[in-house]
């Protein structure tokens, strides 16, 4: 980036963001997404803390380079998502962050009603900024964008399994079109042919779009090198948005700006203790394969929950609890899951409604987590973004330190819990992340 471009960028966009010691403040629309971003920042050499919601009390942010505020704002009505995101923005500004990052899903999880467009719009307005980039790509996990179309591996988004998502079925891979349905402002494209010319050409294109009033720019991204170019071009923007991929490239740019000190082992945690439990409310294709792999290894180790039974009475929940207690007392692996194939999910949703079916599952898994953690579970793996949000809220967790990566996008984290001497080790797995043996291998990483 030339000096003129840097100055011009600050002039058109830097707005009123306070400059402080914390380099990056992020607002994540779900809890697994938050740990995914935090994981990449830690791997980039940033000392990072994840807070659950906007902290009500002051927290110690000394020797912290990045703070990720985890919200549950992906699937709620847009007005609530905007209000929560703006509250997070205000809190982060009070901490004096240099750059803001709105983290959403690498599969652009949203509906025509929002929430990505309306939230990005509200954040730009509040910052007095004129433009932001949209970078959902996460190449190491197979998410890439070409001519504005999102791919998962070699499939277009709408053919990747995401078209069956229980809460936000993604039936259009053209992100310019998807986002245009969520905002009244024009949506631009940074195509790969421009990006390939480097950060200078990228910035020129962004400026040209800004002059035409284009506030949101979907960015093509094929690989890690593209992320590096995007990070170089956007390091001075007040607000960037995307999946966690851009977060893996930004720390090097912060170092180049002289904003980061070198640290050793930014992600070291205490040794894990207590028994191990897996709870899964994700119905994503990857999770379904992980559930099947676990059940093949432990034919008697799994208990399936069904929202239709949960709606009738507490009986199935009590059976699940008894099953988990028995398995844990025998120190055998245990998985409680509601994860089901699309046909089964739609049947439950038809009978109960989408929201009620989801809420019943989330409540059942959360209450199992609360009971079993109280009884000695110390290593808890939760699969699913909404599911993780529900479990973490029920456990009244307020902060997470980020530790070792299990697979790209999923680290172990640790949190102190009232009434427990040792911290709880917690892994929050995004639905579509992780290798097929994730439910087994995650605990080997901790051992």
Ligand X SMILES: Nc1ncnc2c1ncn2[C@@H]1O[C@H](COP(=O)(O)OP(=O)(O)O)[C@@H](O)[C@H]1O
Ligand Y SMILES: O=C(O)[C@@H](O)C(=O)COP(=O)(O)O
Query: Is the bond preceding 115 in cis, omega lying within 30 degrees of 0?
Result: yes
Query: Interface residues with ligand Y (CB under 6 A)?
Result: 30, 32-33, 36, 105-107, 138, 243-244, 284, 384-385, 409, 430-432
As measured in angstroms, the least distance from the Cβ of 67 to ligand Y is 17
Q: Which residues contact 341 (CB under 8 A, 6 or more apart)?
A: 283, 288
Instruction: Pick one of ligand Y, ligand X, none as the site partner of residue 369 (Cβ within 5 to 8 A by kind).
Output: none
As measured in angstroms, the least distance from the Cβ of 387 to ligand X is 4
Q: Considering beta carbons, is residue 214 or 393 the nearer one to ligand Y?
A: 393
Handedness of CA 412, 446, 407, 435 (dihedral sign): negative
As measured in angstroms, the least distance from the Cβ of 72 to ligand X is 10
Query: Interface residues with ligand X (CB under 6 A)?
Result: 165-167, 281-284, 287, 307, 338-340, 344-345, 348-349, 357-358, 361-362, 384-387, 430-431
The rounded distance, in Å, linking the Cα atoms of 197 and 260 is 27
The rounded distance, in Å, linking the Cα atoms of 290 and 62 is 39
As measured in angstroms, the least distance from the Cβ of 93 to ligand Y is 24
The rounded distance, in Å, linking the Cα atoms of 349 and 342 is 10
As measured in angstroms, the least distance from the Cβ of 110 to ligand Y is 11
Q: Considering beta carbons, is residue 111 or 130 the nearer one to ligand X?
A: 111
Instruction: Pick one of ligand Y, ligand X, none as the site partner of residue 340 (Cβ within 5 to 8 A by kind).
Output: ligand X
The rounded distance, in Å, linking the Cα atoms of 360 and 143 is 31
Rg (alpha carbons) of the chain, rounded to whole number: 21
Instruction: Pick one of ligand Y, ligand X, none as the site partner of residue 33 (Cβ within 5 to 8 A by kind).
Output: ligand Y
- Tokens representing 423 are 């911290």
Instruction: Pick one of ligand Y, ligand X, none as the site partner of residue 114 (Cβ within 5 to 8 A by kind).
Output: none
- φ/ψ region of 234 (left if φ > 0, alpha if ψ in -120 to 50, else beta) reads alpha
Handedness of CA 432, 23, 401, 386 (dihedral sign): negative
Q: Considering beta carbons, is residue 18 or 355 the nearer one to ligand X?
A: 355
As measured in angstroms, the least distance from the Cβ of 346 to ligand X is 8
Point out the residue whose Cβ comes nearest to ligand Y: 385
As measured in angstroms, the least distance from the Cβ of 29 to ligand X is 11
419: three-class secondary structure by DSSP: coil
Q: Considering beta carbons, is residue 33 or 188 the nearer one to ligand Y?
A: 33
Q: Considering beta carbons, is residue 17 or 430 the nearer one to ligand X?
A: 430
Q: Considering beta carbons, is residue 61 or 364 the nearer one to ligand X?
A: 364
The rounded distance, in Å, linking the Cα atoms of 230 and 235 is 8
Q: Which residues face 414 on adjacent strands?
A: 401, 425
Q: Considering beta carbons, is residue 115 or 432 the nearer one to ligand Y?
A: 432
The rounded distance, in Å, linking the Cα atoms of 206 and 210 is 6
């Amino acid at each position: 980036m030339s000096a003129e471009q840097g100055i011009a960028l600050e002039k058109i966009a830097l707005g009123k963001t306070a400059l402080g010691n914390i380099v990056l403040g992020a607002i994540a629309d779900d809890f697994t997404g938050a740990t995914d971003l935090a994981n990449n920042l830690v791997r980039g050499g940033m000392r990072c803390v994840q807070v659950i919601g906007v902290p009500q009390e002051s927290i110690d942010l000394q020797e912290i380079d990045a703070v990720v505020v985890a919200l549950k704002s992906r699937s709620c009505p847009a007005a609530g998502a905007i209000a929560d995101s703006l509250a997070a923005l205000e809190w982060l500004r009070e901490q004096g962050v240099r750059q803001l990052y709105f983290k959403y899903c690498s599969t652009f999880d949203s509906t025509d009603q929002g929430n990505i467009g309306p939230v990005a719009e509200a954040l730009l307005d509040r910052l007095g900024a004129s433009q932001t980039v949209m970078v959902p790509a996460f190449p190491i996990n197979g998410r890439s964008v070409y001519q504005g179309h999102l791919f998962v591996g070699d499939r277009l988004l709408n053919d990747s399994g995401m078209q069956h998502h229980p809460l936000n079925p993604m039936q259009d891979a053209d992100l310019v079109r998807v986002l245009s349905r969520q905002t009244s402002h024009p949506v631009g494209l940074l195509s790969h042919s421009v990006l390939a010319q480097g950060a200078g050409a990228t910035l020129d294109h962004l400026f040209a779009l800004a002059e035409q009033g284009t506030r949101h720019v979907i960015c093509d991204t094929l690989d890690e090198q593209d992320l590096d170019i995007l990070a170089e071009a956007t390091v001075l923007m007040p607000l960037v948005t995307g999946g966690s991929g851009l977060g893996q490239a930004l720390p090097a740019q912060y170092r180049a700006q002289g904003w980061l000190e070198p640290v050793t082992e930014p992600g070291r945690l205490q040794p894990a203790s207590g028994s191990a439990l897996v709870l899964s409310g994700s119905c994503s294709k990857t999770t379904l394969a992980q559930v099947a792999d676990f059940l093949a290894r432990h034919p008697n180790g799994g208990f399936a929950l069904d929202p239709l039974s949960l709606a009738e009475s507490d009986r199935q929940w009590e059976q699940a609890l008894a099953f988990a207690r028995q398995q844990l007392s025998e120190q055998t692996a245990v998985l409680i899951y509601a994860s089901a194939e699309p046909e089964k999910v739609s049947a439950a949703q038809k009978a109960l409604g989408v929201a009620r079916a989801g809420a019943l599952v989330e409540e059942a898994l959360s209450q199992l987590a609360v009971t079993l953690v109280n009884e000695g579970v110390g290593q808890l793996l939760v699969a699913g973004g909404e599911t993780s949000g529900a479990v973490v809220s029920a456990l009244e967790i307020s902060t997470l330190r980020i530790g070792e990566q299990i697979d790209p996008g999923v680290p172990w984290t640790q949190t102190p819990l009232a009434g427990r001497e040792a911290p709880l080790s917690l892994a929050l797995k995004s639905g579509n992340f992780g290798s097929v043996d994730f439910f087994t291998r995650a605990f080997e990483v901790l051992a």
